[in-house]
Amino acid sequence: MTLDGLNVLVTGGTGTFGHAFVAAVLAEHDPRRLIVFSRDELKQHDMRQLHPDVGDSPMRYFIGDVRDRDRLERAFQGVDLVVHAAALKQVPVCEYNPFEAVQTNVNGTKNVIDAAIDQQVGRVLQISTDKAVNPVNLYGATKLCAEKIVVQGNAYAAESGTKLSASRYGNVIGSRGSVVPLFQEQAKNGQLTITDPRMTRFWITIEQGVRFVLRCIELMRGGEIFVPKVPSMKLLDLAASLAPGCETKVVGIRPGEKLHEVLVSEDEARHAFELEDMYVIEPAAHPWYEDDPWAGAKRVAEGFRLSSDANDTWLTSDDLMRLVG
């Protein structure tokens, strides 16, 4: 799908994903407007140095918070596509500040949906996480709620023509707060902290995440949760690859962490289809579909579960180092 001539807005546009998404859209598409919506004026100032909003540039910068419905209404006027990436996403931060996590991740997503419907935005794609599946921490619980209201938001949006879907993937290599830059920093002191040597995670690069989101925008019909086929890696192997020869210290699993993550649960598998490069979880009920776009796709096997410890694809050390660069 081309974004040429469209008015595109990304919430949380100054984050890791937002930076990569904006760069990719500017390089490969010709949008009429490309709007960065975020609440941090310093980050917007820094981003403006990379992507100026002068002359014939499509760039626009809106200060605002997804908690502010009125501001979203103003920002969404004339917008064709919203990529909703704004969130509080650090697990310890969300555990310590639960009300704030709910305000941004749940209420903020509801505001995005309401504003998009009222302004007749064509498509809204939410960025979700593997931690939304059978969540054990507040961050995951808020993202699960966000997914649910995005999917069922289509029932409210039927008359407006707005389509709402979600993309769900695992840990982003090198993103802010991820374990990769942490290990790289700890390697300078010769000791890395490992929560549990058995722990596994799904891994994706930010560039792969952007490509996946662009493909989801093309495929979405409203209500789907899209899941990419991505590799797993043990945290112990990750540490050994990033800092060979360094001592590792096992510190125990932190509150809100799992040993292994899940991208598609057994219950979701009843409504899941397999494409060449992804899985599509169809909404259990979808009265807004004019037809069933996934009827011809391959259904996953009964009892299917996509978990990081039982994945078909694993990252090798060489693979990781190529991705880290």
Element containing residue 220 per DSSP (H, E): none
Separation of alpha carbons 122 and 296, rounded Å: 25
With CA atoms as reference, report the closest residue to 315 among 244, 206, 237, 207: 237
143 part of the active site: no
Tokens of 144: 């699960």
For 141, how many CA atoms within 13 A lie in the half-sphere containing its CB? Answer: 12
Q: Cα–Cα distances in Å, from 106 out to 85, 93, 103, 286, 323?
A: 12, 16, 6, 22, 32
280 - beta bridge partners?
226, 273
Tokens of 201: 């995670």
With CA atoms as reference, report the closest residue to 24 among 224, 205, 238: 205
Separation of alpha carbons 305 and 303, rounded Å: 6
Tokens of 236: 């112990």
Cα angle: 56, vertex 58, 63; to 5 degrees: 125
For 104, how many CA atoms within 13 A lie in the half-sphere containing its CB? Answer: 21
Alpha carbon distance, N-terminus to C-terminus of the chain = 29
Task: Reduce the DSSP state of residue 178 to 3 states and report it.
Answer: coil
106 - beta bridge partners?
none
Residue 68, judged by CB atoms within 10 A of its CB (0-12, 13-18, 19+), counts as middle
Residue from 89, 131, 234, 258 carrying the catalytic annotation: 131
The strand order across the sheet containing 200-204 reads 171-172, 200-204, 232-234
The residues that are catalytic are: 131
